[in-house]
Structure 1
């Protein structure tokens, strides 16, 4: 889909090829922006440039209207139908083309509506990344290597910053309640973090 029409030698490709606004060819050049890339074109005459750019600008406007209409129609679907459609779009269209799709209007809209549970691990892994390489194996190793001091520091840190905080919202009961399994999971996470920091990892 054409996202934008650039007039003249405004694209990076033209600049790399040493075209400038002062170049004699500049008035007959234009570019079409498609998924973050440009298709750089040169017409034969100024009149031809005017015809083609006018046409492609109409295409852009029509595409925007169609995208808006699809968005409205998608939102108008019953919730179950919408979720079923989204659960197919994420693994088949968005995730395989993550680099180009991550900032598209469609992806942002679907993200806002909620990522299907089956796709969440892959989406968050791509969105957040793992520059430290802390995967499940490393997490298990850090827990195994944690000692009593690491566990005590983790408990003290959570008691100080979360469990006994007057600012904690009611929703945090999921983590602060002694009976909650999420509390145990959070303590495990903090213990692994203390172990990681003890081995020289960033604090």
Structure 2
């Protein structure tokens, strides 16, 4: 019996030692099991879906959450690719809100699901609206192209063979009013400008050669060269056609303006230091429009005839046979004042409240109208609107459309012209009002001024001009001009 007790005692010692080591062994086994579990998870992820074979217990709320719509993005697609298409969201992903920032408390699941559904509906509607708008624009473009093809036939068969008919026949005038087809614009502009000044065809070659010789000899006025380069720099910069060194038409425009200065001064051997006619700022806008549709030789002839045949332009540029005399410049200034008074009279008749406010603040047409006329609206309107407006201006044989366009622009800006400060009124009319320019302080728009700031487009401008047909009469303008210029 004592031997059995001793044997049991001897056998109990190892059991006691094994029992003392049991917690450490259990910890190691727990770590091994965790490591094996992590390895299994990684292998399941890499294998792309082996975990789907395991049964998972989900609550009804989790099942509803798994069925809720979710936003898909690049990160979601990448995550889905890594885990396999059958892998369900993790416990963390199931509780994260997809419609609220992560640093804020999550929304209730029902609210989150509703907001996701609303967002997807909103995005679907946005795509439908975008597609509809694209289809409408495409349809509008197709209609415009079809209309252009129809008008091309009339232009080629009826107007070009006898283009002066368009000034007499109402049907052709209406067709012209819609704009000249772009591929015919150069031919029609050359015909419409004409050559009433009887200028020789080689005028550009002769004048530009003379200007080059004077520049080489250093006798071409430096002030004129500086003014020409600055004027070109402000001419339709967004088209990038007339930029120095990079613009494809810069050299042609520069030579054209130098030749214009020579012709305007009427040198022909006259000493340069005896010339008083300085280069007038604004000619670059007119020359650039012509140069985009005509050759340099044709552009110079058209430019001189355009200015000479339009009384208001001729008065502003003082271009006449005696343009280099001080008496001519004084008479020209008087003519400009006459045109401004006529414009004031028309403005007072059509917009008396706007006129009264501008008069009370001391804002005269000379502060804004002359910039419009000197450039024929080139910097102020979108390019398509300017091209069509030039088509119509050249159709008319008088300055009527210049007055009408000026009145139309004031009408379109009238809601802004009740401010009590003179400087702000002038800045609105000139298009450099800081409140209307959404750009850095140092930025000053140089083209499409009214289109970019006030939303004046081709359709809006011509709709306003067409509305003037109810009250406009050319005979009234003629009487006003006769009275002012004669007096």
Name the TM-score, length of structure 2 as normaliser. 0.23
Between Structure 1 and Structure 2, whose CA radius of gyration is higher?
A: 2
Question: Which structure: greater helix fraction?
Answer: 2
Name the TM-score, length of structure 1 as normaliser. 0.48
